Amino acid sequence: MRYCSLNPPPRFRLAMIPTPLEAFGLSPSPKSRVEIFLKRDDLTGCELSGNKVRKLEFIVYDAISRRADTLITCGGIGSNHCRATAALASRLGLGCHLFLKGRQPSRPNGNLLLDNLYGARITCVTDKAYETNIDKIMADWADRLKRTGKRPYVIPEGASNPLGMWGYLLQGIELKKQLDKANVKPDFLVCAVGSGGTYAGLHLAAQYLDWPVQILGMAVARNRRYFIDKISRLLIDFAAQYDFPVNVQNRMINIDDSYIGPGYAKISKKETDFIKAVAANSGVVLDPAYTAKAMIGLFDYITNGEIRNDSKVVFIHTGGLLSIFSYQSKLAAR
């Protein structure tokens, strides 16, 4: 395996890695013989917990090297990415402006409460404006700051750009080393897909290592076609920027958009009951926006036979514990 020949860009060492690889004792059926393992990227830190910190290690280093004094980014009202960005900005003495999709509640909770504690400036954007125009909204704000003498740095949604993709290219290599040591050969890697960068990075790792594992992404927003197109663009841009050989074929990008439920960061009784059951029976907390929906999808695939018995699956737990407090009225109900 070519573990040592990569030359990634410089980064801050922020994440507590390697994160653990654990056997997961739950299954959707007593008859299931599918082995599930958890890659615990929910344990990358505390205020910097979750998958986004792996990407931000590279992106924030780049921002500092360019002498930026303000970070600008976007996400949902309870975004894990925005919380991690705001935490880093406060740690490094930078300004932070977050553009959040949705209405700001009268009593902030979860990640939004932390955004406020970290001193981030928050602008709420309607769903329509966000989906059609968020990149221009952030670019316009950056131009406005430049006219006042500031040095802004715009981070895309989810830190999903070629530079951020290095985080999950390296995570995939880290995971493969752990699996080799444990003598586990997985058939599938499964992850939630909200902005595409995590999936794209894992795809790069599999190609780099010549690793015959299927990567299954469970979309938690938008739709399958959107993510196939976006991940393809990310891979093409990464290959061009870093002279990295990538085989980009849409048929190799496996995205399922059947588990979005009521919408991005919205849950019904199905997701609520699932989160409670997993927590009560395993001690693992899934977040409502991402990992709960992705694991519901995984369990359905096993139940329906799309993942066959005797398969081995690694589920990437991308974090999100802090966002769960925004759902306390649903999750606390009996």
CA distances in angstroms from 101 to 113, 126, 227, listed in the order given: 15, 6, 19
3-state secondary structure string across 41-62: HHHCCCCCCCCHHHHHHHHHHH
Residue 118 to residue 83: CA distance in whole angstroms: 9
Cis bond before residue 152 (omega within 30° of 0): no
CA quadruple 58, 59, 65, 70: dihedral sign: negative
| Active-site residue (options: 5, 32, 79, 90) | 79
Residue 32 to residue 202: CA distance in whole angstroms: 26
Of residues 143, 190, 227, 202, the one with CA closest to residue 312: 190
- Report H helices in the chain: 52-65, 80-92, 110-117, 127-147, 162-181, 197-208, 224-242, 269-282, 291-303, 328-331
329 flagged as catalytic: no
Residue 43 to residue 100: CA distance in whole angstroms: 25
Q: Are 115 and 122 in contact (CB under 8 A)?
A: yes
Residue 132 to residue 46: CA distance in whole angstroms: 33
What is the set of active-site residues? Answer: 79
